[in-house]
A and B are shown apart, each in its own frame.
Chain A
Amino acid sequence: MLRVSSPHTHIRRDTGQIMRLVLVATVPGLLALTLFFGWGSLFNVALACITAVLCEALVMKLRRRPVMFYLRDCTALVTGVLLGMALPPYCPWWLVVVGSMTAIILAKQLYGGMGFNPFNPAMVGYVVLLISFPVPITQWAAPAGVLADQVGFIEGMRQIWAGVPIDGYTAATPLDVLSQNTSVLMEDLYQTDPTLSTGLWAGAGWEWVNIGFLLGGLFLLYQRVFTWHAPVSMLVTLTIMAALFYDGGSSNSGGSPLLHLLSGATMLGAFFILTDPVTSAVSNRGRLVCGVLVGVLLYVMRHWSNYPDAIAFAVLLMNFAAPFIDYYTVPRTYGHKKSRSALDKGEQ
């Protein structure tokens, strides 16, 4: 007969299940990526996942931990999927492998494994690649309908594995176009740029990818995998920032709120990166603060820095700040007059 401490009952959902829900939630976004940018993203995801799981298993073996027990939590898979989707389709295979290894070994396991990593592993992997190999990682395939041909299987494989370049399969992303634009009115930009002109709101392909991730995120919200605080505050802040600096669509404009919401990795970041429980702030108030700051940082970097998109940087910077934010956002406990930040009491 068991002698255990209460509670004796437990919700039938564990970390593995939550991670599997996250994986399921990425499907619409991944589907959109595949539909509009070809099978390259699928391949990236597969390769990143295999590498991630192998690395995780290897480290677990080295750390003399039960390998299967830890693999079952599916966190390595999630990291692989997120990284694979963030990397450009048809990028060289080693880029994916290096990124995935960095994410799992460097950013996650060296810090103690699941639950102990201060930074989002997928984003660390991505940033390492972005800084080390800026050229291949910024070459995005053109969305379907913009160029005549989709990249074929053989062509793609040759580029991925052997580095044989494909002619003219890339196109500037809407955010690239926006950051390079210095003289054209927004209205004209929407007419002249091939990607923007073929899209409805924020460029062909990109808007659908973002809508896909938004759907996935709403699914996770519905499943109560995370709370609304961080993603909503981030998206609202981004909208406000974009509205503030829209500048009436002049050549100086930072782009419309809709463009910002539906381009780049906005929705992926809001619902899949920012909500990573391990590295985010703990309390709901803290998450609100975190989301606001990521929104501000994201817009600032998109508009004024050399990087067209900056989800990874913004989120990593907030990962740095999360403990600090936690420090000042301790909720008010039942029966206490006001929330006392850890600082007040600690000094007593």
Chain B
Amino acid sequence: MGSLIKTWEIPGGIHPPENKAQSLQLPLGKVPLPPTLVLPLNQHIGTAAKPVVTVGERVLGGQLIADAEGIFSASVHAPTSGQVTAIEDHLVPHPSGMSAPCIVIEPDGADQWVELNPLEDYLDADKDELLSRIRAAGIAGLGGAGFPTSVKLNPRADHQINTLIINGTECEPYITADDILMQTRADDVIAGALILAKLLNHPEHVLVGVEDNKPDAIAALRKAAAGTEIQVVSFPTKYPSGGEKQLIQILTGQEVPSGQIPASIGVVCQNVGTAAAVYRAVRFGEPLVSRITTVVGEALQTQRNVEVLLGTPINYLLEQHGFDPRQASRLVMGGPMMGFSLPDASVPVIKTTNCILAPSKSELPPPAPAQACIRCGLCAEACPASLLPQQLYWYAIAEDHEKLESHNLFDCIECGACSYVCPSNIPLVQYYRAAKGSIRQEQIEKDKSARARRRFEFRQERIAKEEAEREAKRAARRLAAEEAKRKLAEQKVETPEPPATAQAPAGDDSLKTQRARLERNLAAAKNSLAKASEPLVANEPGGTVTEEQLAKQQARIKQAELKVHEVEKKLQALDASNANEATDPVAAAIARAQAKMSMTPEDKLRSSVESLSKRLAKAEQKAADARAQGSDTADALAQGVIKLKEKLASTQKELNELTPSTVAQPSSASRSDTDQAALAIERAKAKAAALATMSAEEKLRNQIDALKARLEKARSRLEKAEADNDENVEAFRTAVDKLDERLQQLLAQQ
């Protein structure tokens, strides 16, 4: 199988000095057993494993010492036999220089192992069996990210995997760990790849991607892969071809959609080291307790690749390679492009440690001071994700998070190509990391406040609901009580009283009886009030009136008063509701007359002046409006205004004349006014009395008569107006019509 398969090119990318030869001069080495092994519980992405050993316990090589906690986790095993001396926080390899729980083992040098459980015919084995073996071995991606391998091998049902990619690109300068692995253990890699392919239901393509700067590795792999479904593909060297997304693009031409995983386009990617480890775990039952790491840099006497036990402290490893701290400019775990500088050399080698770089000061000099961005665009040309690094840089400085996200900051893979080429030495990636961090932080804060708001709203809702429920219960209780009362009342009504009374309010005929009843009630109430108001008599002769009695009496009086009031009101209501229209004007006339009578003539005039001026203002307004709208009625309105003005003037004059004279004694006019009002009152009262005593029929007849008279009058007025060609003819006509209508109605009732 040749590499006849088509490859694609990724945009951007750089060609930094490879520096891979240094560590390939010597064969793969081994380091002696270190005095202690520090095994972090979390050497992968996901949840930390849970320790299953205790301090002081003796463990054997390959023994499980911390069990995976959930799916996104990986177990940890003892790399050799020895004693657990501590389970405590220890510095771990992390850019922040943080500490995390670790199991510390002191090897006893015997290197006794637990009995491993090999599986000869693994290719015929059940998939679950294979997966559980991989999981039990604690394998996490050895390429650098440390993603628990078994998770990736269990894709979602809707993700149809058609391509398995084994990543042997190793594009970072200096690192040759995968290279030497492929050269020396190509068979393991290929066997592992076959297991992975089986687990993924034999995808259409199983590709091993290797950059063309590793001819030996390619040759070894091709030899090992001969006769299998696996194709070894080589492609031009360019950083960062080994990035998962980039390698997928190179080998398939497809891009992983932003924010999704490769499985969404049917691709699963595994590192060559992972594939080899999978093979060892499945075939021999070996847990992941060691890995190949490149130890390189000019600050070392020996630069080579070593197979090193996980947990080996870096300073021990460096010691074994003749490390000179005075020469070193820094210590980097990983490559020079994406690795992070170690705060302390006491951190251990973990599953993802592919390189320890100890460069001299001339090799990787301290970064030059940053200059202003000259917008040269070299960064954009270098970016493998086709971002605009300098725009991102400006927005990161301005902390414009919206713009950062709209320029797809989160598609940045932090490969460092932009920083590498920047002629102004701007540490671009650092800005992006910081910006990503603060955006994430902001998101967390936002989520938090959103949660708090939701909680508050839920609480409000709950309180409102409870209140509503209580209210409903109260209402139900009230209803029930009313129902009961009503039933009781019905029973009472039915038994002692004749049915006539119950039906009292029904007919017109019963009006009188109703009235009579109310009057009786009123009399009774007044009576009881009088009784209640009687002076108190001491309960016992000679004794005094107690406070209690007093209070009781007062309550009684109050009740009686209330009753009187109530009955009076009822009586009034009855009168009002049953009185015909005719009575209303009577009452109104009485009220008006009474009001007039109670007024002094001066007041009267004043109020009329007031009302006149009000009317005038209104009329003026109307006239103005009409004129503005060019209405026909404008002239008539204007005339009205003039008339009103005249009237106002005369009233005003009258008032002025009146004021000085009427202060002392009322004028004859006013007296006559009063008399007239009194007369009107008398008349109205008489009418009301007559009405009250009349039967409904009589009332109706009366009304009809009155209406007829009014109609007659109105008709004559209308005739006169017609004869005079009065402008109010229309008004008169409508008045006559209305009266006529009313009369017809009443006649119909009769």
Contact = CB atoms under 8 A, between A and B. Distances in A.
Contacts of A113: 372
A7 B386 contact: no
Given A13-B423, A346-B402, A280 B387 contact: no
Interface stretch (B337-345, B443-451, B462-470, B620-628): B337-345
Interface string A1-34: 1111111111101110110000000000000000
Contact of B416 (A1, A7, A115, A342): A7
B375 A283 contact: no
Contacts of B387: 331, 333
Contacts of A331: 380, 386-388
A304 interface: no
Given A11-B16, A227-B377, A333-B385, A3 B343 contact: yes
A283 B376 CA distance: 10
Contacts of A282: 375, 377, 380, 388, 390-391
Contact of B341 (A2, A283, A332): A2
B357 to A, nearest CB: 8
Contacts of A64: none
A10 B368 contact: yes
B369 interface: yes
Interface stretch (B191-199, B204-212, B425-433, B498-506): B425-433
A168 interface: no
Given A1-B328, A114-B372, A334 B384 contact: yes
B403 A346 contact: yes
A165 interface: no
B371 A10 contact: no
B373 interface: yes
Interface stretch (B249-257, B631-639, B670-678): B249-257
A8 B331 contact: no
- Looking at A7, A226, A332, the one whose CB has the most chain B CB atoms below 10 A away is A7
- Looking at A226, A282, A326, A333, the one whose CB has the most chain B CB atoms below 10 A away is A333
A277 to B, nearest CB: 4
A278 B374 contact: yes
Contacts of B371: 14-15, 73, 114-115
A345 B328 CA distance: 46
Contact of B374 (A2, A114, A340): A114
A40 to B, nearest CB: 31
A342 B387 CA distance: 12
B420 interface: yes
A283 to B, nearest CB: 6
A15 B408 contact: no
B68 interface: no
Nearest to B15: A11
B385 A334 contact: yes
Given A2-B366, A277-B375, A9 B380 contact: no
Contacts of A336: 257-258, 408, 411
A334 B245 contact: yes
A330 interface: yes
Contacts of A330: 388, 407
B421 interface: yes
A21 to B, nearest CB: 11
Given A9-B364, A15-B423, A277-B375, A334 B386 contact: yes
A279 B374 CA distance: 9
Interface residues of B, number: 72
Contacts of A11: 14, 16, 420-421, 423
Contact of A2 (B14, B329, B357, B385): B329
A198 B95 CA distance: 69
Given A333-B385, A335-B411, A280 B375 contact: yes
- Looking at A8, A13, A114, A342, the one whose CB has the most chain B CB atoms below 10 A away is A8
A133 interface: no
B14 to A, nearest CB: 8
Contacts of B173: 9
B560 interface: no
B411 A6 contact: no
Interface in A219-269: 226-227
A248 B256 CA distance: 54
B376 A6 contact: no
A278 B371 CA distance: 13
Contact of A277 (B374, B416, B433): B374
Nearest to B357: A8
Nearest to B17: A9
A334 B243 CA distance: 12
B331 A1 contact: yes
B715 interface: no
A320 interface: no
- Looking at A113, A287, A345, the one whose CB has the most chain B CB atoms below 10 A away is A345
Interface string A148-165: 000000000000000000
Interface string B299-339: 00000000000000000000000000100111110101111
Contacts of B341: 1-6, 8
B359 interface: yes
A335 B257 contact: yes
Contacts of B259: 335
A181 to B, nearest CB: 41
Contacts of B403: 342, 346
B377 A278 contact: no
B381 interface: yes
B419 interface: yes
Contacts of A280: 375
A111 B364 CA distance: 35
A342 B405 CA distance: 10
Contact of A334 (B255, B336, B402, B429): B255
A116 interface: yes
A8 B359 contact: yes
A108 to B, nearest CB: 11
B369 A69 contact: yes
Contacts of B629: none
B388 A283 contact: yes
A233 to B, nearest CB: 15
Contacts of A277: 374-377
A8 B339 contact: yes
A9 B14 CA distance: 12
B258 A5 contact: no
Contacts of B336: 6-9
A6 B374 contact: no
A133 B177 CA distance: 68
A284 B11 CA distance: 12
A334 B13 CA distance: 13
A14 B406 contact: no
A2 B331 CA distance: 8
A283 B377 contact: yes
A227 B381 contact: yes
B164 to A, nearest CB: 20
A333 B420 contact: no
B192 to A, nearest CB: 28
Nearest to B361: A2
Nearest to A10: B420
Contacts of B331: 1
Given A11-B421, A14-B424, A115-B371, 5 more contacts: A5-B429, A7-B338, A7-B416, A10-B425, A280-B375
10 contacts: A1-B325, A5-B427, A5-B430, A7-B419, A8-B332, A11-B420, A14-B423, A226-B376, A334-B255, A335-B255
Interface of A: 1-11, 13-15, 17-18, 69, 73, 75, 113-116, 226-227, 277-280, 282-284, 287, 326, 330-337, 340, 342, 345-346, 348
A-B pairs, 7 with minimum CB distance: A7-B416, A345-B406, A115-B372, A277-B376, A335-B258, A2-B330, A334-B385
Interface of B: 11, 14, 16-17, 95, 97, 173, 245, 249, 255-260, 325, 328-332, 334, 336-341, 343, 357, 359, 364, 366-369, 371-377, 380-381, 384-388, 390-391, 402-403, 405-408, 411, 414, 416, 419-425, 427, 429-430, 433
